Amino acid sequence: MSQTRFINPDALSKPPGYSHVVEATGPGRIVYIAGQLGVDREGKVVGDFRQQAIQTFENLKAALAAVGADFRQVVKLNNYLVDVGDLPTFREVRDSYLPTANRPASTTIAISGLARPGARLEIEAVAMLLAAARSKSASKAASKRAGAGRKRRTATKASRSKRK
């Protein structure tokens, strides 16, 4: 069973909205989510910084849902802001999406710009999930592939015997 521990050592300052250390032990699944921007479904950058931050977290939420996860499984965030002056708004929006306890480790970097014109922030996420149970259909498919491999090997041995 995988476990995740969120730790803020007493020797370090109290972090504002994140954990200094996150320890994940397996077995489990690690999910990496590419940097998400404040763009809508059509790929258009939305409104001001607050609207972009909300859209970015909504995009992360959708990406997490695609693997059966939510923000409780996020163990690391990398945040890139074009204007460090937007940090208070970023923290406010971030804190509305993350669980109150067990915040992920987080790094926020002020950058000169992003690859997408008009984008003001980008966020990458890493999540730790329990190991996926194999579905019956996946198990059947694996058994079928293994059976096909045995049949090929048997047929190959038989054809070698005939050639001798």
* Digit-coded pLDDT (tens) for 59-87: 999 999 999 999 999 999 999 999 999 99
Quick check: 64 and 73 in contact, CB under 8 A? yes
Contact yes or no for 30/24 (Cβ under 8 A): yes
- pTM recorded for the entire structure: 0.73
Predicted confidence at residue 143, as pLDDT, reads 52
DSSP sequence for 97-155: HS-SSSPPEEEEEE-S--SSTT--EEEEEEEEEEPPPPPHHHHHHHHHHHHHHHHHHHH
What are the phi and psi torsion angles at 86 (to 5°)?
-85, 0
**Residues 78 and 123 sit within 8 Å (Cβ to Cβ):** yes
What is the reported pLDDT for 103? 94
Judge whether residue 13 has pLDDT over 90.
no
- Mean pLDDT over residues 21-39, rounded? 88
- Which residues lie across from 6 on neighbouring strands? 22
Tell me what the pLDDT averaged over the chain comes to.
Answer: 84
Q: Is the pLDDT of residue 39 over 50?
A: yes
pLDDT at 156 over 80: no
Per-residue pLDDT reduced to its tens digit, 94-107: 999 999 999 999 99
- What are the tokens at 95? 């804190």
pLDDT of residue 136: 46
Specify which residues 123 forms β-bridges with: 36, 79
